[in-house]
Amino acid sequence: MQVPRPSVREAASMYGTAVAVFLVILVAALQGSVPAESPFPYHIPLNPEGTLELSWNVSYVQEMVHFQLLVRDFKAGVLFGMSDRGELENADLVVLWTNGDRAYFGDAWSDPSGQIHLDSQQDYQLLQAQRTPEGLCLLFKRPFSTCDPRDYLIEDGTVHLVYGILEQPFPSLEAINTSVLQTGLQRVQLLKPDISTPTLPSDMLTMEIRAPDVLVPGQETTYWCYISELPDGFARHHIVMYEPIVTKGNEALVHHMEVFQCAAEFESVPRFSGPCDSKMKPDRLNYCRHVLAAWALGAKAFYYPEEAGLAFGGPGSSRFLRLEVHYHNPLKIQGRHDSSGIRLYYTATLRRFNAGIMELGLVYTPVMAVPPQEMAFVLTGYCTDKCTQMALPPSGIHIFASQLHTHLTGRKVVTVLARDGREREIVNRDDHYSPHFQEIRMLKKVVSVHPGDVLITSCTYNTGDRTLATVGGFGILEEMCVNYVHYYPQTQLELCKSAVDTGFLQKYFHLVNRFNSEEVCTCPQASVPDQFASVPWNSFNRNVLKALYGFAPISMHCNKSSAVRFQVCHPVCVLEAHTVGQVGNPQPHPQPLLGAQWQPLQLPTPLCPHQPSFHRCPV
């Protein structure tokens, strides 16, 4: 009986790579070289079993990613690739498969039904394949951009990697459907910034913050909280670096980790080690929110700039730290013990600047809401020119890292810097953002913010699976839109965020009530979430809410670390010869679009002492 072979068209499009099914050794001619620093600096386990391991290196000069895929238990093939949200449908793939006689390697794609097709443009280039003591090792490369509409554009931000394991031969590539394979996804930042490692101080000390001997629950998702304590009399130090400590063998279980410092006003915080959602968790752990360190799968050590460090310890600083570890256990493995955590590197020789963390985006309030059944609803928060003018030093601040944050419906986040009426540069952007993959990311380029600059943060949400409006708030089913920017020198400004003016939102509810047959609860006693719950979400009500968020005045929160607001005097704004606010009311805001220009409009009389009497409005 003759074994079926791939079609002539498929075979002709391959690199000509054909080997015996046992793949004792397979070597393709090297058509291009691996970057000089050949050891791959970035590694992640792709599947929970650890039988697929990905390593990679980035060449910004060539605009190329070099991949090394280790397959520890090769059966009949493997597929690897990328997709928008981690789906195996409409994915950009590279496939190694056998028909029972020969093995083939090729660039492919999957259609909406999961059927795999050979790509007419072969952009994954196989460099080497060989048997090693650990398993089959594939070395291949792929450009960032290929100009192929079937291919995924590799860009800054989160990348959803997908994989599949072929357990039996297939007669041809197009006989493979992802629905019958063992598949999965892993999230990672592929394009790591090419930044030189700063020089570390000679008197550097280390401290390990780790939860000892945790019995990892046999469930898919667990957030584990552990309280640690600094030594008595621990003086002020600067954190200059930190790195993960992952218990050997648990690399596929430990998804991300964060270290938080507790609020200084509490003289004591109870000891605790257990699930973060446990009813036994002390309430005071909820006041441990100041981020000291954050790591996610695939990230390496985090370094502060040589001139700055993150202060901890000493007067006015809490001695209590909370470690939070996210365990991702889709196989629901039982009996696994873990002692992972984060190692802090710190020095008693304080650097020139204290590093600070500032919150940008939207205030945690239900007045900012997303209607149900929305695929891409955008909400925007502002750090206005008046706030930066008052709160920042004359020389400005320098942002070197950023952590984006939403809850479950967030899909995209971007922060843009505007200066002199024009949006100048992107601070951080993630068009494939996932709330399940959050890390502090070093910026490729330090962004300087000067007094009078504006920082605009927009979040895009998908509420397609929800039947009620999703309001802003702290709950996991509520929403947030935040960018925690890491910068120096530290200032008193800790929170620079906005929300739509509450009075204008009430006018929206009255308008909805007036133009809809259903009665919308607009009585003063009703809470904003209850009011949103009573809105009939037809196209009119959706569009009016979008317009309200786009053009109504905003309430600005320009807060010090003490939670006291800076006294910012808000001007009115004239838009198309129409006054949209009153003196002292919150100010209207522009929609962010890089390169957009705003026009200064002169008002007849000064509104704030010693401040120019105009405000930039969208035109």
Residue type, 25: I
Number of Cα atoms under 13 Å in the Cβ half of residue 415: 30
Write b or e for each residue in 224-243: b if 16 or more Cβ atoms lie within 10 A of its Cβ, otherwise e. Answer: bbbbbebeeeeeebbbbbbb
Query: What distance in Å separates the CA atoms of residue 40 and residue 56, rounded to the nearest whole number?
Result: 5
Tokens of 510: 């009255």
- Sign, CA dihedral 93-97-103-109, equals negative
**Is 363 in contact with 497 (CB distance < 8 Å)?**
yes
Identity of residue 619: V
> What string of H, E and C letters represents the secondary structure of 421-457?
CEEEEEEEEECCCCCCCCCCEEEEEEEEECCCCEEEE
Please tell me what DSSP assigns to residue 573. -
- Residues with catalytic function: 223, 405
Q: Which residue has the tokens 């996610």?
A: 296
Spatial neighbors of 566 by CB under 8 A, at least 6 apart, are 387, 390, 391, 493, 558, 559, 560
Helical ranges in 278-363 per DSSP H: none
Cβ atoms of 479 and 470 closer than 8 Å: yes
CA–CA gap between residue 552 and residue 379 (Å, rounded): 13
Burial, 519: exposed, middle or buried (Cβ in 10 Å; 0-12, 13-18, 19+)?
exposed
Do 65 and 152 touch, CB atoms closer than 8 A?
no
Distance CA 130, CA 139 (A): 9
Instruction: Calculate the alpha carbon distances from 553 to 222, 260, 527, 570 in Å.
Output: 41, 35, 21, 10
Q: How far apart are the first and last CA of the chain?
A: 74
d(CA 508, CA 546): 11
Asked whether the CA dihedral 78, 94, 28, 17 is positive or negative, the reply is positive
Cis? peptide before 39, omega within 30° of 0: no
Strands 493-500, 356-362: pairing is parallel
- In 3D, which of 309, 262, 311 has the Cα closest to residue 284? 262
The per-residue DSSP string of 32-76 comes to S---SS-S--EEEE-STTS-EEEEEEEETTTTEEEEEEEETT-SS
Distance CA 427, CA 235 (A): 34
Phi-psi region of 213 (alpha: psi -120 to 50; beta: other; left: phi over 0): left
